[in-house]
Structure 1
Amino acid sequence: MPLPLRYSAFTSLFLMLRRWASAFPLRNASLSEGLRAAFSAGTMLMLGEVLHNPQFSWAAIGAFLTCLADSAGTNRTRLASMGGFAVASTLAGMFAATLSGMGMPAGLLAIMCCAGIAGFARIYGAATGLVLMLAAGVSAILADFPVVLWPLQHSHVLIYFAGCAWAVCLGLTVWRIHPFAPARHAVARVYGALAELTRIVGSNTADLNFQDENAAQTRRHVRADIAAAKAALTAIAADRADSHSLYENLLIKLARADALLDCITVLGDLRLSSYATPSSRQRLGRVLQAMALLLGEIQHSLTTPRHNISDADDARAVLRLRQLIGRMPSRAAQSLKLPDLHDEAGLSVLADWKRTARKEPCRPALRDSVMDMLQVAASHLQTGSAEVRHALRCAVAAGATYLIVHLLELPFGYWATMATMLVMQPSIADSWSRSMERAVGSIVGGVLAVLLCLFIHSPLVLALLVFPLALLAMGLRPVSYGLYATFLTPVFVLVADVAGDPQQQLSNALLRAGNNVIGTVIAIAATYFLWPRRQEANLHHSLSQMISVNLAYLRSALDATHDATQMHGYRRAACVINIENGLLLQRLLRERELEGDGKQTSQKAHHARVSVALSRRLASAATHIWLHGRQDASHEALAQFDQWLDRMADLFARRLTVNASCSRLLHQRPVMRDMAQADAVETLCLLALAMYPELQRASEE
């Protein structure tokens, strides 16, 4: 291959890998969760090696899954989730194993009951649903093993429960979570995401399209992290919040994160615009890289356990950020000022946040709680809600998987049943994404397990390898479900191989990976054909609203009397609606909800993607007009421009009938001398053609 072609192929591969890696926010990796799960499972395996009892692989599985069921929060909440999983999974496993001993029809009924109850439990919250779905998965595993309670050293059920209890004790003693730790780490993730966004928009790269897409995706991650941090702060009890200065510091940092996101978004618009001068782009790049370093320091201070966050440190960090923003041109620096949260307005914001952390009401009696839960379940059953259909879907899918693997007599078929249960999600889009990640992760993880089994045959070494693999699986779970599934497969393969025949390690790894793929395929089929749940959405209407919001931002930027606070609000609204429409398009494509044949669907998807990209470009042009635009045009030209924008707004709002007159409207576009204004006009015309392709045909006629 000639050298230029080889270099081009290498560059294309590198860009492809960069695009793939940008979807994994590694800043969300949790080392603490990974260490806890690895230590819990690893100690059980090592104890089994010391006692020469291979049944302790059940204890390792129980310890790992108990760590997976842990819902961060107070010790009471964690005990309820982990302890509840230990009891529920053990009882569900004994129930399924007892009925399976009576025959396959009875076992099928047990699996369907466990899966249906777990799917229906989502009405009590995602945490409850996760705990019971994991318990249902354990029932699928234990169903193929007869219940043995005595002698203790041969009772896999009691050894499994002991592993669960060990993980609970470890999580509530050695690995206790400080009441402010979840909120502190959540705010740290926000600043880590802000630092990453700043590095992306401040980096020097030749591929501006990839940089813009990567920045848009990271902004979506930042807004999701901000929402999660708000929930974590709200979950802190009021009596702890009012008596701790750390709570106020976290509130201030999170409230300032919104303003920082707006500021970084605007700076990114200025730097990534095609008409920015090289000198201004270089200047903005230096400012953004310095901001990225500072935001990274703030993240590090939040993640350091022994570092006390003081008011002086917060004031020093804000002063440095304001100095960096002050290096911008005077007009931009004045518009991008960070709000002072210590003034009267800032104190009112903090007071509103504090009011959200109410004192917990008096807990009702156990009888009243049970009655309330029964009433909620009865109301869902009477109305036939989406949760009821999800429960039926889980029961039928799990039952079908159980039936198939037993009729075909597949070894380790319970992994397929468990995979079906864990992959099932209420909506088609979520199930499709989770299924694909699970299938690919299982295949890659199976290959990894095969490679390990080819070269390692010692049970002791296999037990030691579980530690790093479990650490990676649990540590990367907040980053990506696919990465989690990739390392989860070799964890369970190695745990089972410690108790199995070393000569069967290779075939066992292949069988478990294959069963995972079978389970995901059945889950996908069930999601599409059994009471499919699709969220109703009008893509064209949503895209029209997106363009209208971005157009409103443009018109406010053209107004010489605009207010900086109001402009930040317009830019934030444009950013949010652009992200929401990008996510909506992805969901509709996964649910196959775009009407028409294959060619029409492809064209609609292409026009929608173009509309989202052009909307981001329109927002960037509006930002440039707001901060750097010059009103060189005459009042008459500006009035004509404003009238043309009125007509375009009517077109996107469907107040005008799409016909030849609208096509002439695009040809009669105003001629603007300012580059940003001219780019806004061109972008609006391209948006009109993307939204209404018939305008192109009308102009040709």
Structure 2
Amino acid sequence: MSDIQHTSLTYRLARKLESYSFAAAPEQIGLLEGARAALAVASLVALALLLGKPQLSWAAFGAFWACLADPGGRDGLRLRAMGVFALGGTVVAFCASAAADIGPVLAGMALLPLVFLPSLGGTYGPAISQAGSLVAVTAVVAVDFPSPPAGALTLAAIFLFGCLWAMGLSVFVWRIHRQAPARRAIASVFARLTDMATELLSGERQHRSGRAAWDAMNADHRRAIRTAIERARGLALGIESGSAFYAAQIDAADRIFAGLIAGGHHIADLGTSLAEGAERNLLSRLPLLLAEAHRQVARRDPASASLAAAADAVLRDCRAVDTAMARAIGAMAQALADLAELWRQGKVEAEILPASVRTGGLGLRRPVPMPVLHHAVRLALAVVLAYGLAIWLNLTFSYWATVAVVVVLQPLAATTWPRTLERVLGSIAGGVLAAAVLLLLPMKLALLLAVLLIAAAAIAFRFVNYTIFVVFLTALVVLITALLLPAESIPWARIVNNILGSLIAFAATLLLWPRQGPTPRAVLAAAIDANLGYAAAVVASTGISPALEVTRRTAGIASSAAETLQHRMSLEGQRRRAHLMEMQAVLHALRGVAGAATAHALALREADEADAATIRQQSLLLVQAFGATSTLPDKPLADAGSDDIAREIASVVQAVRVFLDPA
């Protein structure tokens, strides 16, 4: 059980961070990817030291940025993304450096197209968007290295050499199994399910003495697991072969998640305690089953025998206990048995790659969405502003400020401010780390070893958490600069420039075409529509079907989005916090609807289309109530579905009334 307890502590912190829009995916620590990137970068730094050519720092940074541009997954996608970065970065490095040699005014004018055009990469998907952002980073760094055309061409060639070295090493020489990130992500889902099952058992005792802590724990688990499932599903889609096999494992995890939701509803929302005998025994065996699934799913060839035997035993015992909790545990045991059978077979015939993923074309004639266009214009203007301010302040290594603008400024203000905070905190911590390394390890060979280790850590943690990534990134940049371009107070300059650039980015997202994202009313309306739509689909069905699973998934995604917005607004210190508490009450009631609907589906009751139609009508009235002129009718709405579903929908109606009229 010690492994389960360790996992619980890890993911408890992760789900708290995720609730406030701070990404936390501890399962995505890529040690091999980090070691490969460290070799690519450190070898070029060593070459620069050996030859006494500081200009080769551009090869090192080109290699590091090329590693960042690597999206993982299929070789075709990796080569396209890294190739777009290498070619685009080479062109902008030459143009920016040559323009800066003429003068700062022309350099600032050149930055407008050199930042604007790469920022349109968001039109072509996340991988090209990341590559485009790194091309823009290359432009704002190159403008601080003015050279005549011949020198600019040399700088661009050195940069391209570093990119090609990293690409060759990553794609052709040191190949890492492309399915490893998907396996880690799926294993993370099962770890979180294990954590939820463990706390479900212990929380049942806590629920008798206090409801608030239970509700918070239950909500955190639901949101975190839904996020982890969708993250794993996205990684599975990027696998060239075997995507359906991994998707089937994710579907099994989603079915287990549904069982945990139903079990949590049985305990918390109905206020029911477990029977000391059969139900408690069944529930106590569930974390061990899930822990075994977690261990096996991370392997390339999972062993099915032990999980199959244990799941079948639990399933037999569940059939002998005719209670709602036993049905929920039985559904989870059946999902685990199906998972073990999937491992035994070792394949799934049909692949799930959509046509857009299979072909993988850039689609250069694709129209640029207006949000992407607005963001590109805003970013270009903010970068030029930061460049001019840095020149006026005569900042050392001023390009660090413009780089911060590029990476911090996001399309939405709601996502820019967390990135600002993470960049500032990470820069301070990374600057302190670099200063300590420079103080303790003054020898160049020791610093080179530190570069190797820190570069590995930066790439290994790039998908885990942005703050941790920035800590290692800051230390890496400072150490390479100290080795190849020595100057006074480099750590301090990095901290100051990063803070300045981050603040400029945050100001730009508020002042230039601000996009705040959907309003709380719109997000709540979407969550209500999705959850009551799920309840109606359950009442109209005679059991769980693939279509019903999709409806449940949609409801979970909508609820998670609304809960994250509520948490973020609270952290931002927005006014009318009491209104946010009322928003929380609506979301709590919606969790009750989802739990009741899932329990109803597991009970295999008869379909009732009339009750389903009533629920749909209730959903429509509730959604319309969030409009500018609509209000809820004074007359109570008719009950629909089972008594449990009707009771939970009534709670939603009451919570919505209070939200719309908190006075």
> What does 1:461-476 align with in structure 2 at a 5 Å threshold?
461-476=446-461
Cα deviations by residue, 1:229-286 (Å, 9 ceiling, x for unpaired):
34224xx2xxxx5xxxx66644543443443333344344445554232637743542
- Alignment match, 2:6: none
Answering whether residue 168 of structure 2 is matched by residue 173 of structure 1, we say: no
**Alpha-carbon distance in structure 2 between the residues aligned to 1:21 and 1:544:** 22
Counterpart AA for 1:328: C
Cα deviations by residue, 1:151-181 (Å, 9 ceiling, x for unpaired):
99x965544443223212211332224xxx4
**Alpha-carbon distance in structure 2 between the residues aligned to 1:644 and 1:315:** 47
- Alignment match, 1:563: 543
**Shift in Å at residue 209 of structure 1?**
3.7
- Alignment match, 1:289: 287
Counterpart AA for 2:141: I
Which of 558, 562, 585 aligns to 1:577? It is 558
The answer to whether the 8 Å contact 2:596/2:648 transfers is no
Compare CA radii of gyration and give the structure with the larger one.
Answer: 1
Which of 649, 653, 659 aligns to 1:688? It is 653
CA 1:398–1:354: 2 relative to 1, 3 Å: closer
CA 1:567–1:272: 2 relative to 1, 3 Å: farther
CA 1:255–1:357: 2 relative to 1, 3 Å: farther
The answer to whether the 8 Å contact 1:61/1:495 transfers is no
Which of 282, 295, 298 aligns to 2:296? It is 298
- Alignment match, 1:441: 426
The answer to whether the 8 Å contact 1:446/1:512 transfers is yes
The answer to whether the 8 Å contact 1:96/1:143 transfers is yes
- Alignment match, 2:464: 479
Counterpart AA for 2:295: E
> What does 1:217-616 align with in structure 2 at a 5 Å threshold?
217-233=223-239, 236=240, 241=241, 249-250=245-246, 252-270=248-266, 274-277=271-274, 279=276, 282-302=280-300, 307=301, 313-314=303-304, 317-318=307-308, 320-328=310-318, 330=320, 331=322, 332=327, 335=331, 337-338=334-335, 353=351, 356=354, 373=364, 375-376=365-366, 380=368, 385-501=370-486, 504=488, 507-535=489-517, 537=518, 539-540=520-521, 542-544=523-525, 546-547=527-528, 550=531, 562-565=542-545, 571-583=552-564, 585=566, 599-600=575-576, 602-616=577-591
**Shift in Å at residue 426 of structure 1?**
2.2
Cα deviations by residue, 1:429-455 (Å, 9 ceiling, x for unpaired):
232332222222222222222333333
Cα deviations by residue, 1:68-90 (Å, 9 ceiling, x for unpaired):
11232444443333344233223
Counterpart AA for 2:173: V
State the SS of the aligned residue for 2:70. Answer: coil
What percent of counterpart residues are identical?
A: 24
The answer to whether the 8 Å contact 1:193/1:221 transfers is no
Counterpart AA for 1:212: N
**Alpha-carbon distance in structure 1 between the residues aligned to 2:594 and 2:373:** 43
**Alpha-carbon distance in structure 1 between the residues aligned to 2:132 and 2:529:** 45
> What does 1:106-117 align with in structure 2 at a 5 Å threshold?
106-117=106-117
CA 1:327–1:358: 2 relative to 1, 3 Å: farther
**Alpha-carbon distance in structure 2 between the residues aligned to 1:160 and 1:642:** 62
Answering whether residue 177 of structure 2 is matched by residue 195 of structure 1, we say: no
**Alpha-carbon distance in structure 2 between the residues aligned to 1:510 and 1:362:** 43
Cα deviations by residue, 1:574-625 (Å, 9 ceiling, x for unpaired):
4333223324546778999xxxxx644x333222122112321343355556
- Alignment match, 1:652: 622
CA 1:406–1:356: 2 relative to 1, 3 Å: closer
**Shift in Å at residue 646 of structure 1?**
10
Answering whether residue 581 of structure 2 is matched by residue 619 of structure 1, we say: no
**Alpha-carbon distance in structure 2 between the residues aligned to 1:53 and 1:556:** 68
**Shift in Å at residue 116 of structure 1?**
0.8
> What does 1:149-168 align with in structure 2 at a 5 Å threshold?
158-168=157-167
Unaligned runs of 5+ in 1: 1-13, 364-368, 593-597, 631-640, 671-675
Unaligned runs of 5+ in 2: 1-10, 207-212, 606-610
Counterpart AA for 2:585: V
**Alpha-carbon distance in structure 1 between the residues aligned to 2:507 and 2:38:** 34
**Alpha-carbon distance in structure 1 between the residues aligned to 2:522 and 2:108:** 46
TM-score (norm 2): 0.79
Cα RMSD after superposing both structures: 4.4
**Alpha-carbon distance in structure 2 between the residues aligned to 1:657 and 1:390:** 36
**Alpha-carbon distance in structure 2 between the residues aligned to 1:460 and 1:196:** 42
Answering whether residue 44 of structure 2 is matched by residue 48 of structure 1, we say: no
**Alpha-carbon distance in structure 2 between the residues aligned to 1:469 and 1:624:** 49
**Alpha-carbon distance in structure 1 between the residues aligned to 2:652 and 2:283:** 30
The answer to whether the 8 Å contact 2:189/2:228 transfers is yes
**Alpha-carbon distance in structure 1 between the residues aligned to 2:484 and 2:418:** 33
**Shift in Å at residue 401 of structure 1?**
0.5
Answering whether residue 31 of structure 2 is matched by residue 34 of structure 1, we say: no
Number of aligned residues = 617
Counterpart AA for 1:605: L
The answer to whether the 8 Å contact 1:44/1:59 transfers is yes
**Alpha-carbon distance in structure 2 between the residues aligned to 1:653 and 1:18:** 29
**Alpha-carbon distance in structure 1 between the residues aligned to 2:12 and 2:304:** 38
Cα deviations by residue, 1:382-440 (Å, 9 ceiling, x for unpaired):
xx823222221111011001010001111111000111112222222232332222222
**Alpha-carbon distance in structure 1 between the residues aligned to 2:238 and 2:78:** 15
Counterpart AA for 2:420: S
**Alpha-carbon distance in structure 2 between the residues aligned to 1:650 and 1:91:** 54
> What does 1:63-82 align with in structure 2 at a 5 Å threshold?
63-82=63-82
**Shift in Å at residue 658 of structure 1?**
4.3
- Alignment match, 1:6: none
